[in-house]
Structure 1
Amino acid sequence: MIIDVHAHWGPWFFTMDVAGLSLAAMDRYGIDVSIVSATEAVIYDAPAGNRALAGFLATPTAARLYGYVTINPRRLAEGERDLRELLPTGRFVGVKIHTDYTGSPIPRLREALALVAEAGCPALVHTWGASVLDLAQVCLDTPGLRVIAGHMGADGHRYAIEAASGCDRLYLEPCYSHAPAGRIAEVVAGVDPRRLLFGTDSTLIDPASAYGAMAAADLDPETAELIAWRNAADLFDIPLG
């Protein structure tokens, strides 16, 4: 069983054909469930992208997918409306916030993440470098909030270890466009394995990158199972079987 907690649906603005490939990629790599955000929602128009994704998730083709409600922290009224409308469908299980595309550094996400905490679902937040420490602090300051550090800080994975050690509601997801030697093994050695998740950044990045990084870490079977699906199933309350 594999659950990918960081995937996307819809075309990117790059010159490549990735629209609709998420299911093909899942089949190729044996991914059973993916949690996806709409590319349109992340990079351009959150409400329009969220509704396009909702339409797709309502079709039989999307049975193996769940959605993130993407929130633009600069448009909180739209985000609050989308949460009220889409979470009750049962097809959306969390929130996605991209700090770079919205020009919203993590310290400015407090109001948006307070909405997430009130909604009772986890949030996947883009982190890079030391920003993962800011995310941990906002999480500590927001009762009930559960957050996933997308890319676990990327080249700042040592900051991610520090952040997760200080906040037991912060989860780490490792996808990254580079594959530094020993990165995954170092994080696994320094963090409670119950707070580690698997993500690929598909369809932006081929899942082979995440698979290779995990394989190189040479994880013990129990830890590998926790990361592959058990932790995600618990965090997102995903029914299995």
Structure 2
Amino acid sequence: MIVDVHAHWGPWFFSMEVGAVAVNLAVMDRYGIDLAVVSATEAVVYDVRSGNRAMARVLETTDRFLGYLTVNPRRLADAERDLAELLPSGRFVGVKIHTDYSGSPVASARTRDALALVAAYDLPALVHTWDTTPLDLAQACADIPGLRVIAGHMGANGWRYAVEAANSVDRLWLEPCFSHTEAGRFAAVAAAVDPRRLLFGTDATLIDPAAAYGAVLAADLDPVTAERVAWRNAAELFRLDI
């Protein structure tokens, strides 16, 4: 069993032949990924309301996707309406916040308000992190009761800050996808944090899962930790019956 906690559905603004559900499923099959938690590219980079509704329609077509409802911290009224309207379907299990595309840094008042809203709905949030921003996300966890967050890309080139962040609070998880593969990066993180804080994420279909898959395999995890990374931690975080 493998659960990908960082995936996307829909076309990107790059020259890539992605967008169809069939492409997502073919990529998942190629790497043995059973279940993916996906956000709509349209919601992340363009129009959050139409993208979330498109995502809701796609979730009705396959049981191999679960959804992230995208929240733009600059449009919290829309976020509250989307949460009220779309969560009852039972197909959305978390929230996606992309701090760069929305121009809302993790430490900004807007994003802190968005994270407080997410915590009020008792949903985990996948938040884009880079450089030192995992530390800002850890501070948000410390300040907002009940907030559960995934540091997307585990800080990317700032993975050492992600280690510090994950060790400072007990409601922050890390996933490894990164467009610039760095040898030994995931192995070093896995050796330094509680194995219950590790997840598997690929950034598909923007990035081929081979990058994250190879990083995890190269870490040579013990069987218990490998199972936790592959699916068990995700099942616990998203409260999945799998």
Tell me whether 1:172 sits opposite 2:174 in the alignment. yes
Q: 1:235 aligns with which of 234, 237, 241?
A: 237
SS of equivalent residue, structure 1 residue 107: coil
Amino acid at match of 1:92: F
Partner of 1:71 in structure 2? 71
State how far apart, in whole Å, the 2-side matches of 1:214 and 1:148 are: 17
- Percent identity, aligned pairs only, is 70
State how far apart, in whole Å, the 1-side matches of 2:218 and 2:30 are: 20
The number of residues matched between the two structures is: 238
SS of equivalent residue, structure 1 residue 106: coil
Amino acid at match of 1:9: W
Q: TM-score, normalised by structure 2?
A: 0.97
Q: CA deviation at 1:139?
A: 1.1
1:144-197: CA deviations, max 9, x gaps?
Answer: 000000000000100000001101101011100122111111101110000100
Tell me whether 1:161 sits opposite 2:124 in the alignment. no
Partner of 1:202 in structure 2? 204
State how far apart, in whole Å, the 1-side matches of 2:213 and 2:178 are: 11
SS of equivalent residue, structure 2 residue 107: helix
State how far apart, in whole Å, the 2-side matches of 1:184 and 1:15 are: 29
Amino acid at match of 1:127: T
State how far apart, in whole Å, the 2-side matches of 1:84 and 1:239 are: 23
Q: CA deviation at 1:43?
A: 0.2
- Any residues of structure 2 matched to 1:1-241 within 5 Å, and which? 1-20=1-20, 21-59=23-61, 62-108=62-108, 109-240=111-242
Show structure 1 runs of 4+ deviating over 2 A: none
Amino acid at match of 2:224: E
Amino acid at match of 2:134: V
Unaligned 5+ runs, structure 2: none
